[in-house]
């Protein structure tokens, strides 16, 4: 076992503004036995976070190979649709994060699990990125390039 520590850096972007989220170009496997556990097998996630930070964003969101939204490289994600909050299902590959679990249990949030598609993300009325370290962060989807073009194509074909 090894432990790492590092200072908690300020969030990218102007204070008080939503954090920025990108779409990762890589797709996660649907059946990954490690998905339910936070492990040290994080190279893909760490690279996606570094790519997001290099573009002034907080995180990159992953879809799985079946087209379902999964999670961010360092955060869970919630999507507001038709006035209700939804988070990706565990069977789609989402990590059962601490903050995600709190939001699912909070009757004021009334979030539920659901398969979320690219079309859902594209029509979201709101986005939250969350983790146990940062809490709940209002977010916006940004970026250009192949990953966002893929997202738009996935949304149009849905």
Residue 37's pLDDT is: 46
pLDDT of residue 90 exceeding 70, the answer is yes
Taking only the tens place, the pLDDT of each residue in 8-17 is 888 887 888 9
Residue 33: predicted pLDDT:
59
- Could you list the beta-strand ranges (E) of the chain: 19-28, 59-64, 69-72, 76-81, 84-87, 112-113, 126-131, 135-141
126-131 vs 76-81, strand pairing mode: antiparallel
Q: What would the pLDDT profile of 113-140 be if each residue is shown by its tens digit?
A: 999 999 999 899 999 999 999 999 999 9
Token pair for 57 = 């964003």
- Chain centroid offset of residue 97 CA: 11
Supply the pTM of this predicted model: 0.84
Kindly tell me if the per-residue pLDDT of 147 is higher than 90. Answer: no
- Tell me, what's the pLDDT at 68? 95
Weakest mean pLDDT among 35-44, 100-109, 129-138? 35-44
Query: Which burial class, exposed, middle or buried, applies to 41 when counting CB atoms under 10 A from its CB (0-12, 13-18, 19+)?
Result: exposed
Percent residues over pLDDT 90 in the chain:
65
pLDDT exceeds 80 at position 39: no
Mean of pLDDT over the chain = 86
For 42-66, the pLDDT digits (tens) are: 788 889 889 999 999 999 999 999 9
Domains delineated in the chain: 19-28+36-157 (3.20.10.10)
Sheet holding 19-28, edge to edge: 69-72, 59-64, 19-28, 135-141, 126-131, 76-81, 84-87, 112-113
């Amino acid at each position: 076992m090894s432990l790492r520590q590092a200072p908690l850096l300020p969030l990218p972007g102007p204070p008080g503004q939503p954090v920025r989220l990108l779409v990762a170009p890589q797709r996660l496997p649907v059946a990954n036995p490690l998905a339910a556990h936070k492990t040290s097998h994080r190279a893909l996630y760490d690279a996606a976070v570094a790519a997001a930070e290099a573009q002034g964003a907080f995180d990159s969101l992953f879809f799985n190979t079946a087209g379902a939204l999964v999670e961010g490289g360092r955060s869970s994600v919630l999507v507001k649709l038709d006035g209700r909050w939804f988070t990706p299902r565990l069977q789609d590959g989402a990590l059962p994060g601490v903050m995600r679990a709190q939001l699912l249990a909070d009757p004021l949030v009334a979030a539920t699990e659901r398969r979320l598609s690219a079309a859902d993300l594209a029509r979201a009325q709101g986005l939250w990125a969350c983790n146990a370290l940062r809490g709940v962060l209002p977010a916006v989807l940004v970026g250009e390039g192949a990953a966002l073009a893929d997202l738009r194509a996935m949304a149009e074909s849905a």
